[in-house]
Amino acid sequence: MAGLKALVALAFGATIGLTFLFLACALPQYANWWPFFVVVFYVLSPVPSLIARRVSEDSGGSNPCKEMAYFITTILVVSAFGLPIVLARAPIINPVIQVGPCCLVLAGNVVTFLTIWGFFIIADSDDVEYSMW
């Protein structure tokens, strides 16, 4: 049951990532929920790839649709990193969030996107007996 072990590891990773995000938002000295909007990017980031592999069913070979999906996915991933940085810089006098939560969100981003990527890898690998798509 390699697939099950991998799924457990991925669930653990996703939880770690979300914990970083909650720490950034909810610690009493920060207590500012603006960074939580990166969840939108987390949710949207796998969508282009899913659509692309559903639309281009006959795989074996790249095609413009998949490349477009990679392009949009990269935009979403970079946006998840850009949002906390801009929030930590944005009004010059009194930024929306401090540097600490910004770093926490960035760490959470790394963990979460690695998890999503890992999920795609194990969902595609052949030794998983239940094929999800």
Partner 1 sequence: MPGCCIALRENVGSFCENWGEAGERRNFLASIAAGALFSVGWWCVIDAAARYPDHKDFNHAYHVCGVVATFAMLMVNTVSSGQVRGDLYTDGCIGPYGARIWLFLGLMLSFGSLIGACWILFGAYVINVSVDTHTWPGVAIFLQNLLIFFSSIVYKIGRTEESWN
What is the contact surface with partner 1 in residues (CB under 8 A)? 2, 58-64, 67-68, 70-75, 78-79, 82, 85-86, 89-92, 117, 120-122, 124-126
Neighbours of 43 (CB within 10 A): 10
Q: Check residue 126 and report its DSSP letter.
A: T
Nearer CB in complex with partner 1: 29/59: 59
* Shortest distance in whole angstroms from residue 68 CB to partner 1: 8
Shorter beta-carbon distance to partner 1: residue 23 or 85: 85
Three-class DSSP category at 48: helix
Q: Residue 125 to residues 67, 89, 116, 119: CA-CA distances in angstroms?
A: 20, 41, 14, 10
Neighbouring residues of 110: CB distance < 8 A, sequence distance ≥ 6: 17
- Least distance in Å: CB of 115 to partner 1? 13
CB of 33 to partner 1, least distance (A): 18
CB of 28 to partner 1, least distance (A): 26
